[in-house]
Amino acid sequence: MPHQESAGLTALGAVLSPLEGGGPKTEAVVQRLSAAISLGVMADGQQLPSETDLANQLGVSTMTLREALAVLRQQGIVHTKRGRGGGSFIRGSAEVLENTSLVRLQQMSIQELRDLGDEHFAVTGAAAVFAARRGLRADIARLRALADRLKDSTELATARRADSRFHIEMAVCAQSTRLTRAEVALQAELSALLWLPRLKLDPAAEATAHRDLVDAIEREDDGRARELAESHTESRIRRLVALRLELSD
């Protein structure tokens, strides 16, 4: 795919693109909007589009959207003001996000976590391969900047966003719209879980792993890039499964 086509894809556009496939739509909308907040593409205090506009963007009925907003209000992620100047607003405080993510992790089975990890293993490995084969100088510079941003992060929220954006930008670097969308969806599910304080990810160590990956991509060493991406993903999922087991004790 020509690079010019992938350049138009953005994280916000991917998160708020029409839902695809079957399954409960309300749950999918909740996950998409939670993802937008988690990935930092929607900021704390930001007003959501009108119900009609947002429903159209996501390709769902206004009734489905209202049900999803009710769930998000219950979770403390969105609050709604009535009357003039009212609307639905993001409430993405670190405390709310942490509590929501911890509850979600406790509700997931070990098999669900492993399946999620397997999918991330496959998508991230493929993205690394194609990034090494197709990445442009500007793409690689963007990846290095995101690795540096992660290293310099002093708060978990900024580290989580830099980490997520690195993985999404690596898929953009691979010049694959489908891989980019898949990575956005995976980051939406995983990033808040991976950066739970109890998992104790070290931004500096994670940034070193990212820089090693960028070095392999820049050398066009697709085999090494895949190996690094897959081992990095596998290691994180192992830690997440261990935390899930600890929570069930």
Tell how many helices (H) and how many strands (E) occur in the chain.
12, 2
- At residue 99's C-alpha, the angle toward residues 94 and 103, to 5°, is 150
- Give the pLDDT band (50/70/90) at residue 6: very low
The values of phi and psi at residue 39, to 5°, are -80, -5
Q: Which H helix or E strand runs over 12?
A: helix 11-15
Q: Could you give the CA distance from residue 216 to residue 129 in angstroms, rounded to a whole number?
A: 10
Predicted local confidence at residue 189, as pLDDT: 82
- Write the pLDDT tens digit of every residue in 117-156: 999 999 999 999 999 999 999 989 999 999 999 999 998 8
Amino acid identity, position 226? R
pTM reported for the whole predicted model: 0.74
Q: What is the H or E stretch that residue 158 is in? A: helix 156-173
Q: What is the pLDDT of residues 13-46, one digit of tens each?
A: 666 778 776 677 898 888 778 777 766 667 778 8
